[in-house]
Amino acid sequence: MPELPEVEAARRGIAEQLVGRRCTGYELYRPRLIIAPGGLTLDAIVGDPLQEVGRWGKYLWLVFPLLALLVHLKLTGQLVARGASIPGFAAGHPVPPYDAPLPHKSTALRLDFAPDVQLFLTDVRHFARVQLVLPEELQTTVASLGLGPDALGPEFTLEALRRRLARRRGTSLKAALLDQTVIAGLGNIYVDESLWAAQLHPQRLVGSLTDEEIARLYEAIRSVLAIAVPIGGAEIRNGRAVPPLGEFPYVHGRAGQPCVRCATPIVKRTIAGRGTYFCPSCQPEPVTSSLPTTDRADAAIAAS
């Protein structure tokens, strides 16, 4: 977290409330946030309007006439916009609380827009990064990330999923779906929810899936995101689901609680290096339960 639904919530908030507004200044509280080639600084956005906001997977970009900001919120990044002339929005990691006074002690960047509007990037773990790119080089830079099809984009088709998974036949489903080169945007929460919806165990080897199971997985991913995106993502705090049982998320963060489909207690296990939640009844464990050795490397890929 933040994953695709949370980053998409930020994109929509920025698109609706900030695009077209002129940047009047900024405050960089944590210089290490910025990755910039020689000569590029945030000074280039001051005085110019925000022209465009886009997203691919977990990456978000803000385009000004002379500079683009490529943002990755990593594990705990948060974007909050406030101002008298906008409704305001908050998206990303829920800590600090969305209504906390800002700037927070972990706020890394504030962008100011006319009239009297602020966009705050806060990150309690300090992993988030903002790469400065010339606008004409933005698409090349995004392409160089090697991301798979965006899980909300037209490129994410059943056939695309089949092709991407075919390259990971010896990998567990959990690790393969966390890999951003397979599908861009899914992370720990939505992989757990998708596998539960598809009734597939997270330790199943990709190569063991039937065509029908891959089709089921594809539809599950689409249905989970259709729930998560409009609400801005799952409510998870301190590793526990906040909504009452029976509301989304259905398994992630609910260890020991009854599965809403069969009432079997949800289990938590570390798979591909991540805390993983599943129903042992709805998601039958494979006969060979040991993790493939490739999962250790895949866990590192998934965290990127």
Positions marked active-site: 2-3, 58, 274
Instruction: Tell me what percent of the chain is helix, strand and coil, each rounded to the nearest 5.
Output: 30, 25, 45
Instruction: Provide the β-strand partners of residue 267.
Output: 278
Alpha-carbon gap, residue 217 to 238, rounded angstroms: 28
Give CA 273 to chain center in angstroms: 17
| Contact (Cβ atoms closer than 8 angstroms) between residue 87 and residue 107 | no
Take residue 213 and report the two structure tokens written for it.
């199971």
3-state secondary structure of 79: strand
Which residue type is seen at 25?
A: G
Tell me the C-alpha to C-alpha distance, in Å, between residue 190 and each of 80, 184, 186, 243: 23, 12, 6, 16
- H or E element at residue 251: none
Instruction: Provide the β-strand partners of residue 265.
Output: 258
Take residue 19 and report the two structure tokens written for it.
């695009």
Take residue 140 and report the two structure tokens written for it.
């090349």
Alpha-carbon gap, residue 257 to 245, rounded angstroms: 8
Neighbour count for residue 217 (Cβ, 10 Å): 22
